[in-house]
Structure 1
Amino acid sequence: MPDTNSNNRPTHRLYTVNGESDNARWTDIGVAWATRDGKGFTLSLNALPLNGRVVMRVNDSKEERKGRR
């Protein structure tokens, strides 16, 4: 069973991405963290995309995310 206690903070953020390159629109849709056995991830989604793609990125600081987009 995955470890979902408060000590296991999310290590990744989930985005749905529509478009390509500079025209891509990234929407934050959730978080992910490694399971206790290290063989998978637990996903906590706030939304499900109907189109586009889902991208999982390392959870970095807000300042770094702002600079990326």
Structure 2
Amino acid sequence: MMTTLDEKNAKAPTHGVYFVKDRKGNPDWIRVGSAWINRDGEGMNLSLDNLGQTVILTVRPTKPKAE
């Protein structure tokens, strides 16, 4: 069940991913990819474009280790 996006917009990125380069107090924002909230709402998938290669990353919350 999707809680963050409706079915029609499920494939559209929800976030842009940027590299921010500071140029003497004037930041230059360079778009390097897109991100989507996971269907379970517990993280994001990132698609980064770098020199003609696409890298896919998944970001998940850190959970405490069982003792």
TM-score, normalization by structure 2: 0.54
Match of 2:44 among 41, 44, 47: 41
Structure with larger RCO (C-alpha < 8 A, sep 6+):
1
Over 6 Å off, 4+ runs: none
- C-alpha root-mean-square deviation of aligned residues, in Å? 2.3
- Specify the code of the residue in structure 1 equivalent to 2:14: T
Residues paired across the two proteins, number: 43
- Unmatched runs of 5 consecutive residues or more in structure 1: 1-5, 49-69
Matched, 1:11 2:9: no
- 1:19-67 residue CA offsets vs partner (Å, 9 max, x unmatched): 168511110000001111100000000129xxxxxxxxxxxxxxxxxxx
Larger Rg: 2
Identity %: 42
Quickly say closer, same or farther: Cα 1:41–1:21, change in 2 above 3 A: farther
TM-score, normalization by structure 1: 0.52
Higher strand share: 2
Matched, 1:31 2:34: yes
What CA distance in whole angstroms lies between the structure 2 residues aligned with 1:20 and 1:33?
A: 29
Higher helix share: 1
- Unmatched runs of 5 consecutive residues or more in structure 2: 1-8, 52-67
